[in-house]
Chain A
Amino acid sequence: MTGVKMLALYKDMLLIRRFEEKLVELCRVEGKIPGMMILCTGQEAVAAGACGALEPDDVIIGNHRSHGHLIAKGADPKLIMAEIFGKRTGYNKGKSGTLHIAAPEVNALCTTTVVGGGIPIAVGTAFAQQYKKNRSVTVCFFGDGAADEGSFHEALNLAALWRLPVIFICENNVYAGAQRMEEHTRVKDVALRAAAYGMTGEVVDGNNAVAVYEAVAGARQRCLDGEGPALLECKTYRWRGHGELDHQVYQPKEEIAVWMQRCPVKGLENRLLADGLVTKAALVEMEEEVSAVVEEAVRFAEESPWPAPEEALEDVYV
């Protein structure tokens, strides 16, 4: 991997981190952000590494924890923020909010908060990509909990059977809601399940953006070579609660502390500095740049108009 690429992954992670830190702040202001707030803090390397290995034509399918996926795929932070605020200028005109932002402009085609709901859809997008022979792939993001849904199993079987160009990325953040992995499945690694469908399964360090990038780049090439799909299990950790209203009573403080020591952003930063790929001054500059992007997104969202009530009636049918 080139230094430039590595730096780009770092910048994506930094933007995701700062964007969501801002959301935490905004959430505390009563009435500012409607509904739930589900963040990917601590998991940024998966989004950045995976999307960093993709081309614009490649498709991503997201889940309820997808701010990072969207940002890394190149979606506009302003339009994401406005959607989260419920404003008319948001990606989906206030119809979606935080949980299911679609940004077809960057091929973030479907985001679904129905756990497991996106996995069969990824089979469909990959089928279309194979059918049209346009040499692109689909990446589908979902959690460890989603691998317990029937949709996961049916989708992986079909994708393998038809050798579809799809990369299933299980973001194993140790928890599904309040359940630890060992409380919701007997298998140690979700990746082991790949064997049941005759596809490649791989465990990846989900806190290492470079490792994720390399795994996805490899799987992508195999997809394009007609070798079929892969299941990549990225082991990572959910720093915060399931959502911002979750007080994490079931999540040991020591465990959180250990994983915070393995911060994906800090980790890559140290590596970049150690390898002489970036200077401290350049990092300060990047930090300023990123925070300007976040501030601009908030300003845009704040100043944007609410949708008019009757706009609720639009967009049901084409």
Chain B
Amino acid sequence: MQQLTMGQAIRQALAEEMHRDPDVFVAGEGVGQGIHESPLMPTYGLLKEFGPERVKDTPVSEAAIAGLAVGAAVIGLRPVVEIMFNPFFTIASDQIVNHAAKLRYLSGGKSKFPLVVRIKSGAGGSAGCQHAHNLEAWVAHCPGLKVVMPATPADAKGLLTAAIRDDNPVVFLEDMALYFVPGPVPEGEYVLPLGAAEIKKPGADVTVVTWSKMLGAAFKAAAALAGEGIDVEVVDLRTLAPLDRETVLNSVQKTGRLVVLHEACRTGGFGGEIAALAAEEAFGFLKAPVKRVAAPDIPVPFSPPLEQFYIPGEKQLIEAVRAVMG
């Protein structure tokens, strides 16, 4: 199978869908001619391949970029727009939260908005808190939006393809650190369903639910814990909305223990939703209280020792798993 990084896998999904469907177009700041010309970036070479009619460099205008997507989608195009970094989503959010998410409902189901908002996310590059702020829980709190956060290159390709073909607005969050990590990716058309979590590693003793970049930390912790005789099951949520309750609940019912791991800060994070799900639907199966491993409730700091302190990792996860094992 081909080995691609997530950036390359996203690019492949974009290019394949643009070839397949002339209504798909791409817009955003630097999606055509950017300041970083690297083949590992998701929109690399698209301008050359598809031309300026379909690869639209926009001014620095997030509200207009998002509105462009909403308007083009309601007429029947399939926009894939990019918001450069997660914090700038707040500027686009009126169009996505108040409009894309609600206008179908307001139309009584008559209109549809088949658009994708791709957003770069994730801490770790010392860019500071105005470039790094994982807001997935915000968007997952908006009925009408689908929220995708892939952890592997293959999932990114399959889920982005599905997102582009979906008739609903989809927020697609890409952790930038994953752009550079290679993995196997199926060639040709590859579509994964939105709303299906995946058990990335089966295990018997404790369920770890995670998504995006934190999958790597979960794997590392699982490997270390295996040495202590603890068999971890790793569930990669992949999409936060719709939420695959069944896969999560089945796993928790099997293991009787749940730890949720995410990079975003703890309070109001999506981990709370997973914990609540287990408490409401699988309470009788739980052998220990649910634990969350998340960033502290602070903005992402700049200085490397501070940022490392911020980002949760395998160390905290291992401690949490040991704690629920008793």
User: Which A positions have Cβ atoms within 8 angstroms of B?
Assistant: 34-36, 86-87, 94-97, 99-100, 112-117, 145-146, 148-151, 176-179, 183-185, 241-243, 245-247, 249-250, 306-313, 316
Chain B: residues with Cβ within 8 Å of the partner, total of 38
Inter-subunit contact A243/B35 (CB<8 Å): yes
Considering only residues 99-131 of chain B, those with a C-beta below 8 Å from chain A are 125-131
B128-146 vs A, Cβ < 8 Å mask (1 yes, 0 no): 1111000000000000000
Is B198 interfacial (CB 8 A cutoff)?
no
Which residues of B233-275 have CB atoms within 8 Å of chain A's CB atoms? none
Min Cβ gap A131→B in Å is 27
User: Of A36, A94, A178, A242, which is within 8 A of B127 by CB?
Assistant: A36
With contacts A34-B302, A115-B60 known, is A245 near B36, CB below 8 A?
yes
Given contacts A34-B126, A146-B60, 17 further A-B contacts (CB under 8 A): A34-B304, A35-B126, A35-B128, A36-B127, A86-B304, A86-B305, A95-B299, A96-B128, A145-B59, A148-B59, A149-B62, A149-B91, A177-B34, A177-B35, A177-B60, A242-B35, A312-B307
Query: Which residues does chain B contribute within 8 Å of A245, judged by CB atoms?
Result: 35-36
- The reply to whether the CB of B312 lies closer than 8 angstroms to some CB of chain A is no
CB of A35 within 8 A of CB of B302, answer yes
Shortest beta-carbon contacts, A-B, top 4: A94-B303, A86-B303, A97-B302, A35-B126
CB-CB nearest in chain B for A113: B130
Nearest CB of chain A from residue B295's CB, rounded to whole Å: 10
A38 CB to nearest chain B CB (Å): 11
Q: Is B190 an interface residue (CB 8 A)?
A: no
Q: Are B301 and A95 in contact (CB under 8 A)?
A: yes
Which A residues are CB-close (under 8 A) to B301? Answer: 94-95, 312
CB<8 Å pairs between A and B, sample of 29: A35-B126, A35-B127, A86-B126, A86-B302, A86-B305, A94-B301, A95-B129, A95-B299, A95-B301, A97-B126, A97-B302, A145-B59, A148-B60, A148-B61, A150-B61, A150-B63, A150-B91, A177-B30, A177-B60, A179-B59, A243-B35, A245-B35, A249-B37, A311-B306, A312-B296, A312-B298, A312-B306, A312-B310, A313-B298
Which residues of chain A are near B29, meaning CB under 8 Å? 177
Q: A-contacting residues of B (Cβ < 8 Å)?
A: 29-30, 33-37, 57, 59-64, 87-88, 91, 125-131, 296-299, 301-310
Residues A309 and B130 in contact in the complex (CB < 8 Å), given A179-B57, A250-B33: no
B-side contacts of A185, CB under 8 Å: 59
Q: Taking the nearest CB of chain A, how far is it from the CB of B194, in angstroms?
A: 30
B60 and A241 contact, CB distance less than 8 A: no
Across the interface, do A96 and B35 meet the contact criterion of CB distance under 8 Å? no
CB distance from B69 to the nearest CB of A (A): 16
User: Given A95-B301, A312-B306 in contact, is the A184-B59 Cβ separation under 8 Å?
Assistant: yes
| Chain A residues within 8 Å of B129, by CB | 95
Nearest B residue to A88, CB-CB: B303
By beta carbon, the residue of chain B nearest A90 is B303
A-B contact count (CB 8 A): 124
Distance from B32 Cβ to chain A, minimum over Cβ atoms (Å): 9
Q: Check A307/B303 contact, CB under 8 A, given A34-B126, A145-B59, A313-B296.
A: yes
Nearest CB to that of B60 among chain A residues? A145
A306-B303, A308-B305, A309-B306 known; A35 vs B125 contact (CB < 8 Å)? yes
Residues from chain B with a CB closer than 8 A to the CB of A113 are 128, 130-131
Indicate the member of A148, A185, A245 with the most B CB atoms within 10 Å. Answer: A148
For the complex, give the distance between the alpha carbons of A193 and B299 in Å.
Answer: 35
Query: Bound complex: CA of A312 vs CA of B29, how far in Å?
Result: 32
Min Cβ gap B300→A in Å is 9
The residue of chain B having its C-beta at the shortest distance from the C-beta of A93 within the complex is B303
The complex places the Cα of A200 from the Cα of B282 at a distance, in Å, of: 66
In the complex, what distance in Å separates the CA atom of A185 from the CA atom of B64? 13
Chain B residues contacting A146 (CB-CB under 8 Å) are: 60
Distance of A146 Cα from B126 Cα, bound (Å): 23
A30 to B128 alpha-carbon distance, docked (Å): 19
Contacts of A306 in B (CB 8 A): 303-305
Bound CA span A178–B43, Å: 14
Given contacts A35-B128, A309-B305, A312-B309, contact A176 B87 (CB under 8 A): no
The reply to whether B302 and A96 form a contact with Cβ atoms under 8 Å apart is: yes
Residues of A within 8 A of B61 (CB): 148-150
Complex CA gap A112/B128 in Å reads: 11
B125 contact set on A, CB distance < 8 A: 35
Least CB distance, A155 to chain B, in whole angstroms: 14
CB neighbours (8 Å) of A100 from chain B are: 128, 130
Q: Is the CB of B128 within 8 A of A178?
A: no
From A116, A151, A243, residue with most partner B Cβ within 10 Å = A116
Task: Please name all residues of chain A whose beta carbon is closer than 8 Å to the beta carbon of B302 when the two chains form the complex.
Answer: 34-35, 86, 94-97, 99
Q: Is the CB of A184 within 8 A of B60?
A: yes
CB-CB under 8 A for A99 and B30, given A34-B303, A184-B60, A306-B305: no
| Distance to closest chain B CB from A34 (angstroms) | 4
Provide the residues of chain A in CB contact with B303, threshold 8 Å: 34, 86-87, 94-95, 97, 306-307
Shortest distance between the CB of B41 and any CB in chain A (Å): 12
Closest A residue, CB atoms, query B37 = A249
Check A176 against B57 for contact (C-beta < 8 Å). Answer: no
Q: Which residue of A lies closest to B29 (CB)?
A: A177
Smallest CB gap from A145: residue in B: B60
Q: Are B87 and A114 in contact (CB under 8 A)?
A: yes
Task: Give Cα A155–Cα B301 distance, bound, in whole angstroms.
Answer: 29
B201: min CB distance to chain A, Å: 30
